[in-house]
Chain A
Amino acid sequence: MSAQTSPPVNVLQGSSRVNMTPEGSSQVHSKKQNLASPSKEKRYWCLDDFEIGKKLGKGKFGHVYLCRTKVGHKVVALKAIDKTQLIRVSICTMQCQTPHVPNTPILPS
Chain B
Amino acid sequence: MPDSTRAEHPDLTILICLLWQNNMLHQLHREIALQGTLVQDNIIRLFGFFFDSKRVYLILEYAPMGEIYEKLKSAKKFDEKQAATFVREVAKALDHCHKNGVIHRDVKPENLLIGYNDKTKLADFGNACATNSSRRNTLCGTLDYLAPEMVKNETYDHNVDVWALGVMTYEFIVGHPPFEAANPPLTFDRIRSGKFE
State whether B59 touches A78 (Cβ < 8 A): yes
Q: Provide the A73-86 mask, 1 if CB < 8 A to any CB of B, else 0.
A: 00111111111101
Residues of chain A with a CB closer than 8 A to B39's CB = 17
Residues of chain B with a CB closer than 8 A to A77's CB = 59-63
Residues of chain B with a CB closer than 8 A to A62's CB = 55
State whether B58 touches A47 (Cβ < 8 A): no
Most chain B CB within 10 A, of A12, A75, A77, A89, is at: A77
State whether A47 touches B57 (Cβ < 8 A): yes
Q: Which of B34-89 contact A (CB under 8 A)?
A: 39, 45, 47-50, 52, 54-64, 67
Task: Determine the interface band of chain A, counting residues with CB < 8 A from chain B.
Answer: 35 or more
Interface with A: B7-15, B21-29, B91-99, B162-170, which one? Answer: B21-29
Residues of chain B with a CB closer than 8 A to A45's CB = 48-50, 57, 59
Consensus secondary structure, chain B interface: mixed
Task: Determine the interface band of chain B, counting residues with CB < 8 A from chain A.
Answer: 35 or more
CB of A20, distance to nearest CB on chain B (Å): 4
Instruction: Tell me the A residues contacting B by CB distance below 8 Å.
Output: 7, 9-10, 12-13, 17-18, 20-21, 44-47, 57, 59-62, 64, 66, 75-84, 86-87, 89-91, 93-94, 96-97, 99, 103-104
Instruction: Tell me the B residues contacting A by CB distance below 8 Å.
Output: 17, 20-21, 23-25, 27-28, 39, 45, 47-50, 52, 54-64, 67, 116, 124, 126, 138-140, 153, 184
